[in-house]
Amino acid sequence: TPSILHEDTVGGRYYFDMEAARGVDAVTYLRTADYEGIAAFTDRLCEYVRIAHTDAPLHAVASADFFGPLYDRICEIHRSASAATADDLAVIALGLSRLRQVGVLAPPLCHGDMPLENLIVEENGDIWAFDMLDSPFEHYWHDVAKLHQDLDGAWYMRRQPPVARCITEYVSRRILAAVEACDPRYRQLHTVLVACTFARILPYVRTPQTLAFVQGRIAYYADRIRRNS
């Protein structure tokens, strides 16, 4: 992540200057890089998974409660969302019951908001991560789900041309294998967690086109949850 070089307030408004990262976002990189570059990029993401599995969080967090925050949020969205997604959101909420089997874990490292668009790849292959946020649960599993919001759900396509499916599937397979090697329990929760990333977008949608896209993705993942239940 970029370093904070300076911070201050002007007229009561806080600001900070950050170290510059010169490169392209990860979507553009995956669309234009050669095989060696894509493999190296994926190596780095898999290494992040392995590091995040054992490293402590960046700030003090009491515990990683998977079920409670996500279930409450999906129920809140369910009550306010359009009828077109009500049944699908109910399926996602029921699917979250699998998280109860995981329980409350000690939180590891977590970025909090890691779609491909929040990663910058420099010419030498180094990856910079931007726009860290508090996540609904502090765990690198959330980062993996957010990556798949793009890798599988193609959320980035609202603003960018598509990346070849064989590339996104290659990156996805390797990341999922890395997560499973660290903790096999993630695999059975993956679809539900990715579905949650799309459901949580609903309150912020501003255009009919984006709403249709998000609802389509929610319907897709809800159907996968039904078939796997």
| pLDDT single digits (tens) 160-175 | 999 999 999 999 999 9
Crossing angle between the packed helical segments 35-54 and 140-151, to the nearest 10 degrees: 150
Q: What pLDDT was estimated at residue 131?
A: 87
Question: Per-residue pLDDT tens for 100-115?
Answer: 877 777 788 899 899 9
Instruction: Give the per-residue pLDDT at 63.
Output: 63
Residues listed for the chain: 229
Q: How far apart are CA 153 and CA 144, in angstroms?
A: 13
Q: Exposed, middle or buried by CB within 10 Å (0-12, 13-18, 19+), for 93? A: buried
pLDDT at 144: 97
Pick out the chain residues at pLDDT < 50.
none
The DSSP code for 5 is E
Pairing relationship of beta strands 127-129 and 13-18 according to DSSP bridges: unpaired
Pairs from 166-170 (Cβ < 8 Å, separation ≥ 24): 167/30, 167/31, 167/38, 168/30, 170/38, 170/42
Q: Specify the pLDDT at position 136.
A: 72
The whole-number pLDDT of residue 86 equals 84
Considering only CA atoms, which of 122, 105, 74, 75 is closest in space to residue 183? 105
Q: What is the pTM of this model?
A: 0.91
Q: Alpha-carbon distance 179 to 194, whole Å? A: 14
Unique residue bearing structure tokens 């599937």: 169
**Amino acid 84: pLDDT:** 66
